[in-house]
Structure 1
């Protein structure tokens, strides 16, 4: 089935009802529905499991369908019984597309992960650049009122069919201008899901180096898929990265995109 924003959740709920007695399957669907509910209410969602049907789930579904399909059924009737299983597989893979189109959420920010991030930041003043609709900064502000963090974005990416408002205060500012303006007051820079088609991440990295940000103990936290769906090739080639163990423990890698959390220092 083709991804459809307007019918996505209703189709997911229909699959939930159809497989209600297959608890491993219905629990997986519930994880998505609860996640969507939290995000729709501007709250941090829980960490997501891998959004795929495991071998054991597939066997359960096959056993279930074998009881639903009876001798003498027409081809159309059989297809109607089988279709929810085929549709569910597609819906699981489409969840990231749904989050992007519905909420403008590119990097999935969970409650568990933000707790880890706050421990890592340890009160240090922070700037988020290319913050999008501000989900990362909003999560920090939700769990730690008054945390010293600024969020900025130029909102050039907002070319969707429906307007999307930031979920927290995000200052409209180019990333390079934000770095220059706030640099003297911050110790950490956050950069989540920088676009592939722009070298601004590489320019920012070099600006931080020239201004001795790292030499003075500053850190750049990058969330993305190395040499994949995010960030420029120049950035991945030139950044000296280390995967942060404490920040990847609860990072939700729920689909085929292998994004993770890196530290540049």
Structure 2
């Protein structure tokens, strides 16, 4: 991904009629998105995702120009966030809702990446152990380097947290088999979308009476699902 300043300068040199302007403009992060990214780069949890809680959210639903601008901004922000190891939105606005549901229960997070979500929940008072097998990122929260299945098998924690497991990777099934059917699982991502695998979704049963608000990047239908393995 091109550096934002260089990208903007390049677009400005293009003639108005050049089709490359339309192709490259969606890659530009606006000021609100830049502030969101700056927080992550500074090792901080952003205060608020800047584009509403659902893709398509608009102050004026009939304003197509606003729709295009916000869609482009969200797309560009998602690309930048992924480059920093944030795949689902993490901010200080929605994570307190999840922390409230967790309460005093102890959480094991597997495939935690840099521990961005673990940091946000820990700041809300959640007792969370974040684990990952690859710890080459500079972490936001202490990461225990351990295989995800092994972590689940050894854990005496109360809740398993899984956010954006790799697409079509069945390792998450082994993790949940090791975790068992008695303790709850929090899954964050698209249900039968671009994360997880069919074998996981065949056996993970969400509880329909639990709703945690989660902002969504453009074109991504992320939600927080709380359920059990069957």
TM-score range, shorter chain: 0.7 to 0.9
Q: Structure 2 matches for 1:172-251, cutoff 5 A?
A: 172-182=145-155, 184=156, 186-209=157-180, 213-214=181-182, 218-243=183-208, 245-247=210-212, 249=213, 251=214
Counterpart contact for 1:193–1:231, Cα < 8 Å = yes
SS for the counterpart of 1:106 is: coil
1:123 to 2:130 alignment: no
TM-score with structure 1 length normalisation?
A: 0.68
Residue 30 (structure 1) shift: 3.6
Counterpart contact for 2:153–2:179, Cα < 8 Å = no
CA displacement 1:173-205 (0-9 Å, x = unmatched) = 1100111222x2x11110000011311111222
Counterpart contact for 1:221–1:263, Cα < 8 Å = yes
Structure 2: distance between partners of 1:89 and 1:126: 34
Residue matched to 1:94: 76
Structure 1: distance between partners of 2:140 and 2:6: 21
CA displacement 1:219-250 (0-9 Å, x = unmatched) = 10000111111001110122112356431x2x
Structure 2: distance between partners of 1:195 and 1:36: 23
Q: 1:105 aligns with which of 86, 91, 103?
A: 86
Unaligned 5+ runs, structure 1 = 16-27, 62-84
Residue matched to 2:19: none
TM-score with structure 2 length normalisation?
A: 0.77
Paired residue total: 205
SS for the counterpart of 1:94 is: helix
Counterparts in 2 of 1:262 and 1:89: CA distance versus 1, 3 Å:
closer
Counterparts in 2 of 1:116 and 1:89: CA distance versus 1, 3 Å:
closer
Structure 1: distance between partners of 2:220 and 2:114: 21
Counterpart contact for 2:109–2:128, Cα < 8 Å = yes
Counterparts in 2 of 1:260 and 1:120: CA distance versus 1, 3 Å:
same
Residue matched to 1:47: 49
Counterparts in 2 of 1:242 and 1:10: CA distance versus 1, 3 Å:
farther
Q: Which has the larger radius of gyration?
A: 1
Counterparts in 2 of 1:116 and 1:240: CA distance versus 1, 3 Å:
same
CA RMSD of aligned residues (A): 3.0
SS for the counterpart of 1:189 is: strand
Unaligned 5+ runs, structure 2 = 13-28
Residue matched to 1:21: none
